[in-house]
Amino acid sequence: MSVAVAFAGMKRVAGVVFKAGCPDCRASFELGARDLRLAIGATSKTTFYSFTCPQCGVAVRKPAGERVVELLIGGGVRTLRLHSTV
């Protein structure tokens, strides 16, 4: 069985891939929706996404603008709404 055949059925499951970079080790890589977390606060200052760098293992947290939030939610990233509990 060729590789192409082996992965043919996985295309839909793979879903959206996000490009990200690590500010610590400066590696750039691609992350799937399950590798990312999105936390939505009351303001844009408390809205951020986070992931763990696959290269050095550091926890990265970056501010998420409106467009990024839409992109992440559309891609199926797990979302935490911080302001709903206040």
Q: How far apart are CA 72 and CA 50, in angstroms?
A: 11
Q: How far is the CB of 4 from Zn ion (least distance, A)?
A: 32
- Nearer Cβ to Zn ion (52/79): 52
Subset of residues 19 to 78 that bind Zn ion, contact rule: CB under 5 A:
22, 24-25, 53, 55-56
Task: Give the Cβ contact number of residue 78 at 10 Å.
Answer: 13
Burial status of residue 36 (CB atoms within 10 A of its CB: 0-12, 13-18, 19 or more): buried
The distance of Cα 51 from the centroid of its chain, to the nearest Å, equals: 6
- Nearer Cβ to Zn ion (46/55): 55
Q: How far is the CB of 51 from Zn ion (least distance, A)?
A: 10
Binding footprint of Zn ion on the chain (CB under 5 A): 22, 24-25, 53, 55-56
